[in-house]
């Protein structure tokens, strides 16, 4: 007798789970080296060496009561200071420690922001294609997800559709660039257009509408693509960040919420965020990781590793006749399914030991997601299998 909410979640989350379970089973049968599993967004690079050295040093030099003790629910003061300074220097926005709340990853950050904002039936706009967990996060607090369709040429949001979908009940929009699953990095013009529409609608409805920027892939950029901080274009903005991808620490659950210093009533909202972080049961972000990442804010993952995979895969697949928008960020590639039924296409690909996730689970049927955060050797060898798949579909 579990809640209707969780029953619904169980029903919806089977698509990716099915792929993973099949992939694991197949690996046992034919050997892991023969399964080309593009289904999971798990970093393929080790944490930077500086991270390993820092965590050891922190353990050796910090008093263990302080190191493992409760921190303020918004995080340690020195950690928030370091993050605020780093953000300000990078993006030219005047963040200070009181605008930062260290969180249990970006998943924690998004839930904390949504819990801070949402009353029952408040609407949250999300741009398809999107990370399927957004539905659950909004559902957790009985909000309503409202989906805006993409421009299928660029995989940026359809601005006309966006403007139409904003109603009196719209509380926030979640913007995810670099995007999971498309790998697209939104152009500055797109961000400005989003801001313009939001300002117009705020004024029309006479209340705040918030921009929630989900940006765990902020540093994973290729071909000279640039990540623009949305705080420069819009005041009512939250940044949700995670060190999962930039430092390859997804299991450690460490990230933060940054509240734009220009937000209306910023002190009160930041207090709300801090309280939401505590009462959702996160209490505080893991303390050892707080201290460690604060000393690694300038460290980078091995971007070239992902870039190599991206180029091999994009060039290989388009040469075979597949179509996709060229990804400039994250470690995903969003392929057009050669048949309308993307679920069926994924099943066919499994025959060739190619594991992908159907676009339907990202609210974008007709496409499939490939996570190329796997070994370069496998990416190379997968092309032979994709060639067989292309042949089956007469490409």
Residues 77-106 that bind a copy of itself (CB under 8 A): 104-105
Long-range CB pairs of 147-155, under 8 A, 24+ apart, other chains included: 147/363, 150/182, 150/364, 153/325, 154/184, 154/325, 155/129, 155/179, 155/182, 155/184, 155/325, 155/334
The minimum distance between CB 375 and a copy of itself, in angstroms, equals: 12
Q: Which is nearer to a copy of itself, 175 or 259 (CB)?
A: 259
Burial 111-125 (b: 16+ CB within 10 A, else e): bbbbbbbbeeebbbb
How far apart, in whole angstroms, are the C-alpha atoms of residue 393 and residue 388? 9
Burial status of residue 265 (CB atoms within 10 A of its CB: 0-12, 13-18, 19 or more): exposed
Q: Which is nearer to a copy of itself, 287 or 361 (CB)?
A: 287
Quickly list H helices, 222-302.
266-279, 287-294
According to CB under 8 A, which residues from 12 to 31 bind a copy of itself? 13
The minimum distance between CB 30 and a copy of itself, in angstroms, equals: 22
The minimum distance between CB 61 and a copy of itself, in angstroms, equals: 13
User: Using CB under 8 A as the criterion, what x/- string covers residues 195-214 for binding a copy of itself?
Assistant: ------------xx------
Are 138 and 144 spatial neighbours (Cβ–Cβ below 8 Å)?
yes
Among 25, 30, 69, 167, binds a copy of itself (CB under 8 A): 69
Q: Which stretch binds a copy of itself (CB under 8 A): 135-143, 191-199, 335-343, 348-356?
A: 135-143
Residue 280 touching a copy of itself (CB under 8 A): yes
Q: Is 172 helix (H, G, I), strand (E, B) or coil?
A: strand
Residue 281 touching a copy of itself (CB under 8 A): yes
User: Using CB under 8 A as the criterion, what x/- string covers residues 27-56 for binding a copy of itself?
Assistant: -------------x-xx--xx----x--xx
Q: Which stretch binds a copy of itself (CB under 8 A): 27-35, 179-187, 244-252, 354-362?
A: 244-252
Size of the site for a copy of itself (CB under 8 A): 76
CB proximity list for 236: less than 8 A, separation 6 or greater: 198, 202, 208, 209, 210, 211, 260, 263, 264
Give residue 99's Cα distance to chain centre: 21
Are 326 and 338 spatial neighbours (Cβ–Cβ below 8 Å)?
no
According to CB under 8 A, which residues from 223 to 242 bind a copy of itself? none
According to CB under 8 A, which residues from 374 to 393 bind a copy of itself? none
Q: Which stretch binds a copy of itself (CB under 8 A): 7-15, 82-90, 223-231, 323-331?
A: 7-15
Q: Which is nearer to a copy of itself, 185 or 280 (CB)?
A: 280
How far apart, in whole angstroms, are the C-alpha atoms of residue 104 and residue 290? 10
Are 145 and 135 spatial neighbours (Cβ–Cβ below 8 Å)?
yes
How far apart, in whole angstroms, are the C-alpha atoms of residue 120 and residue 241? 25
The minimum distance between CB 119 and a copy of itself, in angstroms, equals: 5
Residue 288 touching a copy of itself (CB under 8 A): yes
The minimum distance between CB 382 and a copy of itself, in angstroms, equals: 20
Among 39, 98, 116, 179, binds a copy of itself (CB under 8 A): 116
What are the CA-CA distances from residue 281 to residues 3, 72, 105, 251, 314 (Å)? Answer: 19, 13, 14, 18, 42
Among 150, 286, 329, 338, binds a copy of itself (CB under 8 A): 286
The minimum distance between CB 270 and a copy of itself, in angstroms, equals: 10
Among 108, 157, 216, 327, binds a copy of itself (CB under 8 A): 108
> Residue 70: what are its φ and ψ, rounded to 5°?
-50, 145
Among 136, 144, 311, 347, binds a copy of itself (CB under 8 A): 136
Are 337 and 129 spatial neighbours (Cβ–Cβ below 8 Å)?
no
Residue 67 touching a copy of itself (CB under 8 A): yes
How far apart, in whole angstroms, are the C-alpha atoms of residue 389 and residue 383? 10
According to CB under 8 A, which residues from 325 to 364 bind a copy of itself? none
């Amino acid at each position: 007798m579990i809640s209707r909410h969780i029953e619904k979640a169980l029903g919806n989350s089977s698509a990716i789970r099915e792929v993973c379970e099949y992939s694991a089973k197949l690996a046992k049968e034919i050997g892991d080296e023969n399964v080309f599993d593009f289904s999971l967004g798990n970093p393929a690079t080790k944490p930077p060496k500086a991270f390993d050295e820092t965590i050891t040093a922190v353990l050796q030099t910090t008093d263990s009561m302080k190191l493992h003790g409760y921190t303020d629910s918004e995080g340690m003061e020195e950690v928030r200071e370091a993050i605020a300074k780093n953000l300000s220097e990078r993006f030219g926005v005047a963040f200070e420690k009181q605008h930062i709340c260290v969180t249990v990853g970006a998943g924690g950050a998004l839930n904390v922001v949504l819990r801070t904002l949402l009353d029952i039936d408040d609407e949250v706009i999300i741009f398809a294609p999107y990370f399927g967990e957004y539905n659950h996060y909004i559902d957790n607090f009985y909000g309503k997800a409202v989906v805006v369709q993409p421009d299928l040429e660029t995989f940026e949001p359809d601005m006309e559709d966006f403007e139409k979908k904003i109603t009196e009940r719209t509380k926030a929009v979640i913007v995810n660039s670099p995007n999971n699953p498309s790998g697209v990095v939104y152009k500055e013009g797109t961000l400005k257009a989003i801001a313009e529409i939001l300002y117009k609608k705020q004024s029309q409805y006479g209340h705040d509408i918030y921009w929630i920027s989900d940006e765990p892939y902020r540093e994973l950029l290729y071909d000279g693509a640039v990540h623009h901080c949305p705080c420069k274009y819009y005041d009512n903005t939250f940044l949700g960040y995670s060190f999962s991808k930039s430092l390859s620490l997804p299991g450690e659950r460490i990230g933060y919420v940054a509240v734009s210093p220009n937000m209306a009533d910023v002190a009160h909202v930041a207090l709300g965020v801090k309280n939401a972080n505590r009462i959702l049961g996160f209490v505080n972000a893991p303390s050892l990781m707080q201290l460690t990442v604060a000393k690694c804010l300038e460290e980078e993952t091995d971007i070239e590793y992902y870039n190599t995979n991206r180029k091999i895969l994009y060039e290989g697949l388009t040469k075979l006749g597949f179509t996709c928008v060229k990804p400039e960020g994250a470690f995903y590639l969003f392929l057009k399914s050669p048949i309308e039924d993307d679920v069926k296409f994924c099943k066919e690909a499994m025959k060739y030991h190619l594991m992908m996730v159907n676009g339907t689970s990202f609210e974008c049927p007709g496409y499939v997601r490939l996570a190329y955060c796997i070994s370069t050797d496998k990416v190379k060898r997968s092309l032979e299998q994709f060639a067989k798949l292309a042949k089956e579909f007469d490409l």
